[in-house]
Amino acid sequence: MKLFYPALLIVLILHSCFSQKSKNELIAIRQPGEFEQQAAIWLIWPSTDYKQGESIEKVLLSIIEAIGGEEKVIVTCKDSALLQKATATLLQRFGALKNITLLMLPSNDIWARDMGAIFVETNKKTMAVADFNFNSWGYTDTLAADTKTEEMYDENVAREYKLPVFSSAMISEGGSREVNGKGTMMTTESVETGRNPGMSKAAMEAEYKRLLGVKKVIWLKQGLVEDDHTFLGPIKTADGSKAYTVITTNGHTDEIARFINDSTILFAEIDTASGKDPIAMENHRRVEENFKILSKATDQDGKPFTIVRMPLAATLFSTLSPGDNVYEFIKTLDYKDGSNFPAGQPVKVIAALSYLNFIIANKVIIGQTCWRPGMPNEWKIEDEKAAQVLQTVFPGRKVIMIDALAVNLGGGGIHCITMQQPASPPN
């Protein structure tokens, strides 16, 4: 018995030390939903266009105009020359930089959703940044110079605002994850397992929990055909020709499924009445497979979701030519189907366009149109239907639809080029 008390005392001391360490440890407890109150929206000023004559800068200006000074907008520029150009352009367009902050942060591209800062709340009622690894959507390895620049973007944001960082070697992009702010996350299996072939789902879920405070993960299977990896090879279209995707992600979640509150999901739906379009038919198969998963899914508390369907936009094709930014990249790829890229000749491409890829701001919802003058009138009607759906599910916000084809031709949409910064948690 003489040995029992000292031994017990040692155990109690060690337990006390570990408990104290646990109390002092900074932990990510949640990533707020995009639909919650925001402090700011982040954008990256473009240094080039994906297709000549299609202005990305014009799309950014439309987004900033739609926000209308009602919410802070933070615009980053990769160097001092671009910073000066962006400042002059914004002053000319808006007359004053009302609620607009410009920063110089290194970057090569505009996809703030994917390499931008993921802001999370901590157990200390502070904010931190969740930093996943990055491999340019599967087109490079993590050590490529341009990829490292993009991977460091979120860390540079954290450094600028003196925020702690939760880092992981796991590769994951913001556009592949949708959270409800209460602990449930949706993601796409084709993307996450493809980025991390050596990790099990359980290991990935442990990292989502550690970096984002996630309690439950819903695994969707695949994204849209027009989001398939470009290096898989061109895709057969309804007229029998083939078209290339445009440096796409292989199936980001925000093209098909979005949380509009903590219990409601806006989810894609596609009409296949004609039965002649192979892209539409395959999209229908994928979407309905995912719909079955969501229909059976529950949230972190075991409650089912309300699911509202949103029509998919028409499949929109364009042409890229030598000299276009995206053309010059996709001609260098090693195509896994054995095909050869017709270098020097224009190619048909599929725009990465989805009505689900909208922006949620504090007072407005910014959606995207498909129709342009000269296009089928039924596409204009579909644009109007999409706007009506957005207005129905966001009754307290104004819906503004913009043309963003210039961005779609780079492999994503307007949600992909923005990142929300949540309001700080209450003390």
72-97 pLDDT, tens digit per residue, is 999 999 999 999 999 999 999 999 89
Band (pLDDT 50/70/90 cuts) for residue 425 is confident
Confidence of residue 24 (pLDDT cuts 50, 70, 90): confident
CB atoms within 10 A of CB 240: 7
Counts for the chain of helices (H) and strands (E), in that order? 12, 21
pLDDT higher than threshold 90 for residue 426: no
Among residues 281, 86, 253, the alpha carbon closest in space to that of 176 is found at 253
- pLDDT over 50 (residue 12): no
pLDDT class of 273 with cuts at 50, 70, 90: low
Distances in Å between the Cα of 283 and the Cα atoms of 103, 243, 268 are: 40, 16, 10
pLDDT at 1: 35
Q: What are the backbone dihedrals phi and psi of residue 409, each rounded to the nearest 5 degrees, phi first?
A: -75, 0
Compute the mean pLDDT over every residue in the chain, rounded to the nearest whole number. Answer: 94
pLDDT of residue 424: 86
Spacing of C-alpha 225 from chain mean position: 17
Q: Is the pLDDT of residue 272 over 90?
A: no
200-204: long-range contacts, CB 8 A cutoff, minimum separation 24: 204/170, 204/172
The span from the CA of 42 to the CA of 330, in Å, is: 28
Please report which helix (H) or strand (E) contains residue 30, including its range. strand 28-30
Q: How confident is the model at residue 103 (pLDDT cuts 50, 70, 90)?
A: very high
Helix (H, G, I), strand (E, B) or coil at 329: helix
Pairwise CA distance, residues 267 & 356, whole Å: 8
Q: What is the 3-state secondary structure (H, E, C) of 91-144?
A: HHHHCCCCCEEEEECCCCCCCHHHHCCEEEEECCCCEEEEEEECCHHHCCCCCC
Position 80 scores a pLDDT of 97
pLDDT, tens digit (0-9, with 9 covering 90-100), for 365-407: 999 999 999 999 999 999 999 999 999 999 999 999 999 999 9
> What average pLDDT does range 299-319 have in this prediction?
97
Q: Which runs of E-coded beta strand occur in 195-322?
A: 216-220, 235-236, 242-243, 257-259, 264-269, 306-311, 317-320
Catalogue all structural domains in the chain, each as residue range(s) with its CATH number.
28-422 (3.75.10.10)
Separation of alpha carbons 266 and 310, rounded Å: 6
Both tokens of residue 78? 């990769």
What 3-state DSSP class applies to 348? Answer: strand
Whether the pLDDT of residue 321 is over 80: the answer is yes
pLDDT tens-digit readout, 187-232:
999 999 999 999 999 999 999 999 999 999 999 999 999 999 999 9
Pairing mode of beta strands 419-422, 235-236:
unpaired
Has residue 8 got a pLDDT over 80? no
Per-residue pLDDT at 356 exceeds 70: yes
pTM of the model: 0.93
120 HSE (CA, 13 A, CB side): 30
- Cβ atoms within 10 Å of 238's Cβ, excluding its own: 13
| Distances from the Cα of 269 to the Cα of 351, 368, 402, angstroms | 18, 16, 21
How far is Cα 59 from Cα 164, in angstroms, rounded to an integer?
Answer: 32
Look at residue 16 and tell me whether its pLDDT is greater than 80: no
Confidence of residue 274 (pLDDT cuts 50, 70, 90): low
pLDDT at 113: 98
Q: Looking at the predicted structure, is the pLDDT value of residue 19 above 70? A: no
The pLDDT, as a whole number, for residue 271 is: 80
